[in-house]
Amino acid sequence: MKRFSPAKLNLFLHITGRRPNGYHNLQSVFCRVDFGDFLTFDKMAKSPNTPLLTLTGADNLTDNVADNLIYKAVHTLARTFPDHAHPLHIHLDKHLPTGAGLGGGSSNCATTLISLNELWDIGLSTDELINIGATLGADVPFFIFAHTHQTEAIVEGIGEQLFGIDLPNCEFLLLMPDAHINTAQFFAKDELKRDGILYAHDELAQVDFYQLDDRFGNVFEPLATQFSPNIHTALTYLKGLEDITCTTARMTGTGSVVFLPTPNINDETKHMWIKNAPCPAIFVKLFK
């Protein structure tokens, strides 16, 4: 079984408060795009010496393989449903940069949960998969929701509250500067704005998320551009194109990738913008 493991973009990201346990409540709109990794799943013959998981293609992504979200997904399902567990070889064909705000690790985790639910014939519902995914990573529930329900969603709570939203088709220019954001350190910063307004869903349904007004943005963007000159340079480049696209450049998630919605841009212009970009760049589309 070979599965596509797509990236996501945050069209805005606000922190609306902090819970007593230290976790942050957020409000965001996520959308799935046609840029991502690929995972291949192969069942292996059972024998006393066959490990539950042989994972290839994930070297150097984490210091310890047990910290990889693919590994965590496999072992979580195996502990919870031991009668269904079967040895696997999983190969990761990695394209998404790490620490980029694209949700690559969470997408890999969700793709693994979805695939093993089928391969191991566990029979979990979408809600049950989402509940398991929420224990593994904040973005994991969205990717499960996007696979089975709707590919764009209002996201709230710590990422587990999901409400489908319809967005018009669009392309995006993604810039991937050489920078790795430590999410935990950014969440701990005193200057992080944590008092964002929790907007009603009917109000969000009326927002043009490609041309944002001053109410919306990414609360991590000021921290990231101060932290990394490369992120600042990439975002400045995209902001220089806003008058042409009539859209708003911004950062996605808590990572390093910045992007600009680019409706109705011809191929010659796309080629020029990629050529002139200060770092690796790619055009992507909504993956509906």
Closest by Cα among 126, 116, 132 to 74: 116
Asked if 8 is an active-site residue, the reply is yes
Query: Half-sphere exposure of residue 210, counting CA atoms within 13 Å on the CB side?
Result: 17
Query: Tokens representing 133?
Result: 């995914």
42 is known as an active-site residue: no
Candidate list 2, 8, 46, 270, residue with the active-site label: 8
- Pairing state of beta strands 53-56 and 88-93? parallel
Catalytic residue (choose from 37, 72, 94, 139): 139
Residues that are catalytic? 8, 139
